[in-house]
Chain A
Amino acid sequence: MSTTQKPYHFLIRRVHSLLGLVPIGIFLMFHMVLNLTALGGAELYNRIIHTMQSFPGIFIIELLIIFIPIALHAVYGTWVVYTGQSNILRYKYARNWFYIIQRISGLYTVLFVIIHVYLLRFGEANFAALQQFLSQPLGLFFYALGVIFAVFSFHEWTMGFCHYLGFDDWTPFSESMVVFIGCSVRRFIRDWAI
C-alpha cells in the first residue's frame, strides 16, 4: 500500500496521550504515595524529601522523566484545548461536563505545577513550609484544587485510554484506578488540612 500522507499527526496525538501515563501519570502516583509519608510526622517527611533531593543524578531524572514530558504534554495539551469549542450550554450531558472539566483541569494543573515547582522545588521544601502555606485558606484551596484537577486529568486519561484500546466508555479498570487514586487524594487532603 502506498502512503503519500504524513502520519505524524496521529503519532503526535497518541504520544501526547501516552505521556499522560508514562511518565506523568506514574510520577503523579509516586508523588501521591510520597505525600503519605507526611502521616509519619515532620521528621520522616523531611527525611524523605532530603533523600529524594540528594539522590545522585536527580537533576537528570527530573529533567528527562518529569520536566520535559510535562512541558510537552502541557504545551500540546493547551493547543488541543484551543481546537475544541464547548457547547455545554446546549448539550448538558454528563460526559460533556467531563469534557469541559478535563480541559479546565488541564489548564489549571499547568498553572498549579508551575507555581508548585517554583515554591517547593526551587524554594524551601519542608514540612513546616508546607504546613504554613496550607494553613492559609487560599493556599489550601489552591493546593486542594490543584491535586484534584491533576488527578481528574489523569482519570480522564484512563477513560480516553480505554477508548483508544477499543473499549467503549467506562470499564472496571478505569473505575478501580479512580477509586485508588481518589483514596490517596482524600488522605492527602485530609492530612494537610490537619
Chain B
Amino acid sequence: MAEQKTIHFKIRRQDGPDKPSRWEEFDIPYREKLNVISCLMEIQKNPVTSAGQKTTPVVWECNCLEEVCGACTMNINGQGKQACSALIDQLAQPIVLEPLTKFPLVRDLMVDRQIMFENLKKVHAWIPIDGTYNLGSGPRMPEVKRQWAYELSKCMTCGCCMEACPQVNYRSKFIGPAAISQVRLFNAHPTGEMNKHERLEPLLDEGGIADCGNSQNCVRACPKDIPLTTNIADLNRETNKFALDRWLRK
C-alpha cells in the first residue's frame, strides 16, 4: 500500500458527571473490518490525540460484542447504535462518538442506564411463577405465537429507542418504548396473561403510555427491528379498554 490510510475519530470526553465536556480527536491506522470497539481498544493501547498530545484512555462499556447485550450503545455520528456492530467500513468519517444523552453520564462514553431497568420493574416485566405449593405446568403457547413473541423478546434494553424518542427527556417522566413493548410480550404469554392488569396499570400512570408523542422514531432506531410502534398502538387499545372497564365497574 502506497499511503497509510487512517480512521479519524472525534470523541466527546467528560471526566465525570459534573465535569466539563471536551472534544478530542484521534487517528487510528486503517485496517480492514474494524468496528468502533476495536478502534477504542487501539486508543486504549496508545492514548495519544491527533495533535500528538498524551491523554487518558477513553472510557466505554462493552460486553458481548455481538449486538445482544446493548452495553456498548453510544451515539455514533449522531445516532444511538451499538459500537460493536458499527463497522468502520460503513461509517462516514470523521466518526463522531458521543455518550447517550438520555441517561446520566458516568464518564466519557459510559452512561448509567439503570432507569431502563427501573422502568421494567415498574411495569412488572416478568412472569410470576412462584407459589407456596407446586403450581403445575402452565398453559401451552401456540408455536406461531411463540415465534412472534420471540421477536419482541430480542429487546436488550440498549436505549436506542429512548435516545431517539423526543418524549424521553429531563422534562418528562416517559418510561419509553422499550418497557411498553415488554408489557405486550409478557401479556401475550399464556401464563403472563394471568397478571395482565399488573402491567397495564402502571402504564396509565404519569410517564406511562399516554405520554407517547407518536413521533415513531423508536421503531426506526431499534437495532433489533422490534415493531415498537405496533406494540404501543396495541397497548393503547389495551390500556383504553382496561381504563374504561375499571372506571365503569368501580
A5 contacts B201, CB within 8 Å?
A: yes
Q: Known interface pairs A163-B233, A168-B229. Does A96 touch B79 (Cβ–Cβ under 8 Å)? A: no
A85 contacts B205, CB within 8 Å?
A: no
A112-131 CB contacts (< 8 Å) to partner B: none
A160 to B209, CA, bound (A): 13
A6 to B205, CA, bound (A): 7
A5 contacts B166, CB within 8 Å?
A: no
A85 to B171, CA, bound (A): 8
Q: Known interface pairs A14-B240, A168-B230, A168-B233. Does A99 touch B166 (Cβ–Cβ under 8 Å)? A: yes
A3 to B246, CA, bound (A): 10
Dominant SS among interface residues on chain B: helix
Is the C-beta of A1 less than 8 angstroms from some C-beta in chain B?
yes
A85 contacts B166, CB within 8 Å?
A: yes
A164 to B220, CA, bound (A): 20
B interface, how many residues as a size bin? 35 or more
Mask for B206-217, Cβ within 8 A of A = 1, else 0? 101111111111
Is the C-beta of B78 less than 8 angstroms from some C-beta in chain A?
yes
A67-88 CB contacts (< 8 Å) to partner B: 80, 82-87
Is the C-beta of A137 less than 8 angstroms from some C-beta in chain B?
no
CB distance from A19 to the nearest CB of B (A): 14
Give chain B's interface residues, CB within 8 Å of chain A: 75, 78-79, 164, 166-167, 169, 171-172, 174, 197-198, 201-206, 208-217, 220-221, 227, 229-230, 232-234, 236-240, 243, 246-247
